Amino acid sequence: MLVSRTACRAPFRSGAAPRRALAVRATAAPASTAQLKSLLDDASAAGLGQVRFIVLGDGAILESVNNWGGVRYNDVPSRGTLATIASADKSFECHIVLNKVKKALIAKSKAKAGDYDVYAIRFQGEEGKMLLTCLLHGQAGVYQPAAVEAWKKLHEKYGDALDFA
């Protein structure tokens, strides 16, 4: 959290010259790429288990269920740093361009169809555009208890949202 100081006028008192006082205002500091890497590393180590990875493209939607495996980082000159979440046999890979992620949301919500909770980690780009949604995978709200506990620990550590802008 950043603390900024702004000058403000103290209330005028009769017969006294106006004084300038400093008001301290707390503002949330944008998280760093290091914090995004920390979130990805912690999610990999947490034991989230089966996760549904969802990407909404212009004209197509891709959904794939896989374990949230290990993450590795690679600097690509034309793109920046890529985070890759991959299965052990490399049959599944998810690449995230870190400098495109402007916000991460760690949110629990009600399912659109059904009376159960959905546990999500969402990565947003410019102007709130959804880049990637990662949902704990279960059937009608039946999740592995260890996966829910792992998600809750991530939420406890990082809160509802991390801004990277």
What does the block give as tokens for 43?
């999610």
CB within 8 Å of 78: residues ≥ 6 apart: none
At residue 165 the predicted structure's pLDDT band, cuts being 50, 70 and 90, is: confident
At residue 31 the predicted structure's pLDDT band, cuts being 50, 70 and 90, is: low
CATH code linked to domain 33-163: 3.40.1570.10
Least confidently predicted of 11-15, 75-79, 98-102, 112-116? 11-15
Identity of the amino acid at 4: S
pTM of the model: 0.79
Gap between the Cα atoms of 136 and 143, Å rounded: 7
What does the block give as tokens for 162?
């991390």
Helix (H, G, I), strand (E, B) or coil at 39: helix
Mean per-residue pLDDT of the chain: 84
- Please return the burial class of 50, using the count of CB atoms within 10 Å of its CB with bins 0-12, 13-18 and 19+: middle
